[in-house]
Amino acid sequence: MTPDRRAFLVAAIDDTEGTIRATDVKASIALVVHGLLLSALLSVVVRMGQLYASMSCPVQLLVVGSGGLTGVALLPSVLQLLRCVSPTPASAIPATDHLATGNFFVAFKVSTFTGRLVPHAQSVHSRLEAFVKLDDAALVAELYAELEKVSGIRSRKTQLIRIGILFLTAELVCACAFLAIVGLSALAS
């Protein structure tokens, strides 16, 4: 394998991992926006008791409707964004056993309850020996298998954040409508 091909695969893996990290940062920021928005809305709701009682029935319905829609949009958005920043489950990672021997990433089993590593079936020495024996074609297969895996993870996270941001946008629109209705009612009273 030429150094250019190897460099290309390494650069592709690095670029894909960079996109994954950026997606996680964006999802984390969107979750903070949810917290700020929810905090602001709860602050308004707690203080609007007398104002709500003085509103006409249609205005009360608009307040309840826009507030309810805000909550309806909040739940799927937060859920998708949390799925985005959570580690990708193994079932969502493309299977590459047919391409590689698993030298790129050494997987360890971890106890669910204690968090301790379960001893690996192979010794470090035997894993190192298997790695040293890789020829160029096997190394290319390992790198390509890793590219497949990180590309699958990137695609999943990209889709999750798209859905999360879509619902966040709907939530912001509903929250603005809620605040506008409450604000106009406060000015009118």
- Segments making up each domain of the chain, as ranges: 3-93+150-188
pLDDT at 106 over 70: no
What is the pLDDT confidence band of residue 123, given thresholds at 50, 70 and 90? confident
| Stretch 71-88: mean pLDDT | 95
What is the pLDDT confidence band of residue 80, given thresholds at 50, 70 and 90? very high
Q: Is 77 helix (H, G, I), strand (E, B) or coil?
A: helix
d(CA 158, CA 63): 34
Query: HSE on the CB side for 37, CA within 13 Å?
Result: 24
What would the pLDDT profile of 124-160 be if each residue is shown by its tens digit? Answer: 777 788 778 888 888 888 888 889 999 999 999 999 9
Q: Kindly report the average pLDDT of the chain as a whole number.
A: 88
Nearest to 69 by CA among 171, 189, 185: 171
What would the pLDDT profile of 12-38 be if each residue is shown by its tens digit? Answer: 999 999 999 999 999 999 999 999 999
| Stretch 78-84: mean pLDDT | 96
Q: Which residues contact 70 (CB under 8 A, 6 or more apart)?
A: 41, 171, 174, 175, 178
The one-letter code for the residue type at 4 is: D
CB 33 within 8 A of CB 168: yes
d(CA 21, CA 19): 5
| Stretch 55-80: mean pLDDT | 94
Query: What is the phi/psi pair of residue 110, to 5°?
Result: -125, 135
